Amino acid sequence: MPICPTCGRPYLLNTIFCEHCGTALHPLRQTEELPPAGSCAPTGSAPAVVLELLSSAHRFRLLFDELPAVIGRADAGQARRPQVDLAPYGGLERGVSRQHARLFWQAGHLMVEDLASANGTWVNDARLPPNVPYRLKEGDILRLGTLRLRVYVRTDRSAVHQLPESG
Amino acid sequence: MTPSAWDMTSGERGEEDYYRILGVEDGASPEEIRAAYRDLVRQYHPDAGLVKGTSFFFRQIQQAYETLSDPQRRQEYDEHLRREGKRPPRLFALDILPGPAELACVDEPQLLYLLITLTPLANRPEPHTRLNLCLVIDRSTSMKGERLAAVREAILRLVEQMQSDDILSLVAFSDSAEVLLPPQHTPHTRLLRPILASLTADGGTEIYQGLQAGLSLVGQARSDHQVNHLLLLTDGHTYGDAQKCLLAARAAARQDISISAFGVGHDWNEDFLDHLTAAAGGQVVFIENPANIGQAFLEHLRQLKEAWIADLTMRLYYAPAAQFKAAFALTPELRELEEIDGELALGALHYTHPRHVLVESIVNPLGEGTHRLLQVEAAGTVPAYGTPTVQRKVVRVPFRSQGNTRPLMPAAIVEAAQKVSLLRLQRQIEEEARQGQVPQATTLLEGMAARLLQEGQDELAGALMEEARLLAITGRLSPAGAKRMRFGTRALRPLLPGGTE
């Protein structure tokens, strides 16, 4: 039987987390590509933006390249759907508003703007004032309510699938 | 539809049923049918000579396969089953996702996860679910003042929301129990006010007294056409009668009476109430502030009225190569399911939300090929019709000689296992603290807080950090902190497809 590297206790093959100390034993890399919430794989010439969902052991990658895009949560009674729908990823529980934030390009920079959301938009733990664009950098942590996403920008399309493995 | 047309049992006994023979679901795909057939042929072919007296069964397998593998004949057979009243409409769906999707042929036991999803198949508006509810209220001295006042107000608000054909009864207890209201259709608040005014605080907390009186009232008004439920509200520890309470709860479960408990304040025993409610398919609600009692009553009523299938239980029938390890309810609460008399009690399946369960099984080494490892059976009663309902599914998993790739673990299972791992950490912390292992408990507390922060659960993480600080000073978990940690962990919800509440 394999041994947990943290607490030294044996565990059964295929175990995902150590029962005693909670150490992740199964590599938590992407094991299946979930359908992206926004548009599909990049096809155009503009750089691709990848949002990696951090509020989960699993790193969902939301891949989309048609900006501007509204990030939010689709709701049954709502006519306008956001381009990036976080409802399937716990958007409601984590306080994502229906129209939460907008991503767009400005002078070659990726910008985010909070759309006066109920629970706020945060970049690296600083809360953004509503309706004021803010410039995002590669690797920034974007937080919508309590849902956290890491931001990647890829100009080279082939590099989209070679993001660093975060653990 | 008449209840007789729903009777499953007559169709099951004796007479052959091609789907049952192959061990597949009614809606099985042609691939599933073929796989099941091959599997059985390997085991039961007379030439294999493995088991004596199998040739009759083997002929049945052939017959079943010839019928079900031919689309035209299968359709006719399905028609026949429906005409004969042997196929009730499906009232819920049972879906099973194994992880990893394939197991490796290795010479040591391995773990198999199953994510089981139970989805209600109900077209609203169905006839609404009727309630047979008994409130069992602790009137011991500690309930005096604000707490009992909040309870009186909460009961009045609850009654306003109940429907006229719901049944209510009321019991108050301290050292002894008193029936305040025998079972009757929802009484008018005018009738209830003077009764509640007589509800004053005095004496100790002997939960068994209240429980026994309450269960007898629910029993009097019990029927399969209702949700039969007892709700216990207490703020204290019971003295010396815990074992009797648990036995009473198990007896109630056998009569399909479920029990939930509201714990008010910090001075009640969460271990005891957890066992009590788990034995009878209910839940514990932690009410820190008495001002929230009213809201908790209404929320509980809403949930009871949402019950589409009541007293849902699950049984797992394992093949010799596999065995049960543990099972966890993921929604609506994250908690370990106790196996009682071979059954896992899940409580109710609501109209609106699916239920998710993560089962861990240990699988012993097996050779290449697809192996049937277990059958899952979920059963319950539908109060709207007063009828039982059951679904079964066989779990088959392919085994392959080890390649160079890691087994594929579905994302939903990783997500579920992560939440279960937090639950295990929380229990480990309780256990270490109980044994006075302060440094170990503190390390685990800090580790769990860090993981919660990573998941955006800032509030619970904060409560844990505070508890780690207190633990270092006092050497034990505080009653309030232990409850916040336990019930906060229970409220963690995995992000599962269709499983958001």
Q: What is the CATH number of the domain that holds A89?
A: 2.60.200.20
Does a structural domain hold residue A43?
Answer: no
Q: Chain B partners of A88 at a C-beta cutoff of 8 Å?
A: 495, 497
Handedness of CA A105, A110, A114, A119 (dihedral sign): positive
pLDDT in tens, chain B (501 residues): 222 222 333 333 345 688 888 888 777 778 888 988 888 887 777 666 555 556 777 788 888 999 999 888 888 888 888 777 666 667 888 999 998 988 988 889 999 999 999 998 876 555 678 999 999 999 999 999 899 999 999 999 999 999 999 999 999 999 999 999 999 999 888 999 999 999 999 888 899 999 999 999 999 999 888 899 999 999 988 878 899 999 999 999 888 899 999 999 999 999 999 999 988 888 999 999 999 999 999 999 998 988 889 889 999 999 999 999 999 999 889 999 988 878 898 988 988 888 999 999 999 999 988 899 999 999 998 888 778 888 888 999 999 886 545 567 888 898 899 999 999 999 999 999 999 999 999 989 998 998 898 888 889 999 999 999 999 889 999 999 999 999 999 999 887 765 333
Select the residue of B108, B407, B408 nearest A1 (Cβ to Cβ). B108
* Contact in structure between B284 and B278 (CB atoms under 8 Å): no
User: Do A3 and A73 share a domain, yes or no?
Assistant: no
Do A16 and A85 sit in the same domain of this protein?
Answer: no
Query: Which of 334-353 (B) contact A at CB < 8 A?
Result: none
CB contact under 8 A, B418 and A14: no
pLDDT at A31: 36
Sign of CA dihedral B273, B274, B276, B281: positive
In this structure, are A86 and A146 located in the same domain? yes
Restricting to A residues 3-32, those with a Cβ less than 8 Å away from any Cβ of B are: 12-22, 26-28, 31-32
Cβ atoms of B378 and B92 closer than 8 Å? yes
> How far is the C-alpha of B411 from the C-alpha of B408, rounded, in Å?
9
Tell me, yes or no, whether A38 lies in a domain: no
Domains of chain B: 1-89 (1.10.287.110), 91-128+307-404 (2.60.40.3670), 130-305 (3.40.50.410), 411-490 (no CATH)
pLDDT digits 0-9 by tens, B276-300: 998 888 899 999 999 999 999 999 9
Q: State the pLDDT at residue B258.
A: 92
Q: Considering only CA atoms, give the Rg of chain A.
A: 18
Strands in B335-336's sheet, in edge-to-edge order, are: B92-99, B110-120, B355-363, B322-329, B335-336
Q: Which amino acid is at B404?
A: N
**A78 & A1 share domain:** no
Taking an 8 Å cut-off on Cβ atoms, the answer to whether A26 and B428 are in contact is no
Question: What number of CA atoms fall less than 13 Å from residue B176's CA on the CB side?
Answer: 2
pLDDT for A98-119, tens place per residue? 889 998 887 778 889 999 888 8
- Confidence label for A2 from pLDDT (cuts 50, 70 and 90): confident
Beta bridge partners of A84: A71
Separation in Å, CA of B337 to nearest CA in chain A: 16
Same domain, A151 and A105: yes
Residue A7 lies in a domain: yes
Q: In this structure, are A15 and A78 located in the same domain?
A: no
Answer yes or no: is A112 within a domain: yes
Minimal CA separation from A55 to chain B, in Å? 4
User: For residue B471, which amino acid is it?
Assistant: L
Give pLDDT, residue A60: 57
Specify if A147 maps to a domain: yes
Contact at CB, B495 and A56, closer than 8 angstroms = yes
Q: Which residue of A has its CA nearest to B407?
A: A14
DSSP state of A88: G
pLDDT digits 0-9 by tens, B79-102 = 888 777 666 667 888 999 998 988
ipTM surpassing 0.85: no
The pLDDT assigned to B246 comes to 93
Give B459's contacts (C-beta < 8 A, 6+ positions apart).
B488
Q: Give how many domains chain A has, as a whole number.
A: 2
A23 part of a folded domain: yes
Q: How confident is the model at residue A143 (pLDDT cuts 50, 70, 90)?
A: very high
Residue of chain B whose alpha carbon sits nearest to that of A13: B110
Give me the pLDDT at residue B409, please: 81
Res A35 pLDDT > 70: no
B201, B148 contact by CB (below 8 A):
yes
Interface of A with B in 61-90 (CB under 8 A): 87-90
DSSP B369: E
How many angstroms separate the CA atoms of B225 and B356, rounded?
25
Based on the fold, state whether residues A4 and A68 are members of the same structural domain.
Answer: no
pLDDT score for B43:
73
> For residue A101, what are the domain limits?
48-161
* Residue B140 contacts residue B205 (beta carbons within 8 Å): yes
Of all residues in chain A, the one with the smallest CA distance to B497 is A88
Residue A73 in any domain: the answer is yes
- DSSP 8-state class, residue A164: -
Is residue A137 located within the same domain as residue A97? yes
Q: Same domain for A139 and A99?
A: yes
Q: In terms of domains, do A129 and A62 share one?
A: yes
Structure-block tokens of residue B489: 């962990």
CB–CB of B414 and A146 under 8 A? no
At residue B52, the pLDDT reads 56
CB contact under 8 A, A55 and B456: yes
Contact B370, B395 (CB under 8 A): no
Query: In the structure encoding, which two tokens stand for residue B314, read together?
Result: 């699950």
B458 touches chain A (CB under 8 A): yes
**A1 lies within 8 A of chain B by CB:** yes
Same domain as A126, residue A56: yes
Q: Cα–Cα distances in Å, from B132 out to A150, B226, B256, B393?
A: 50, 6, 12, 32
- Structural domain contains residue A14: yes
Question: Per the CB < 8 Å rule, is B415 touching A13?
Answer: no
Size of interface A-B (CB pairs under 8 A): 98
Q: Is A111 on the interface with B (CB under 8 A)?
A: no
Q: Give the closest of A21, A32, A146 to B458, CB-based.
A: A146
pLDDT at position A79? 66
A124: CB partners within 8 A, 6+ apart: A140, A141
Residues A17 and A99 in one domain: no
What residues in B contact A90, CB-CB < 8 Å? 493, 495, 500
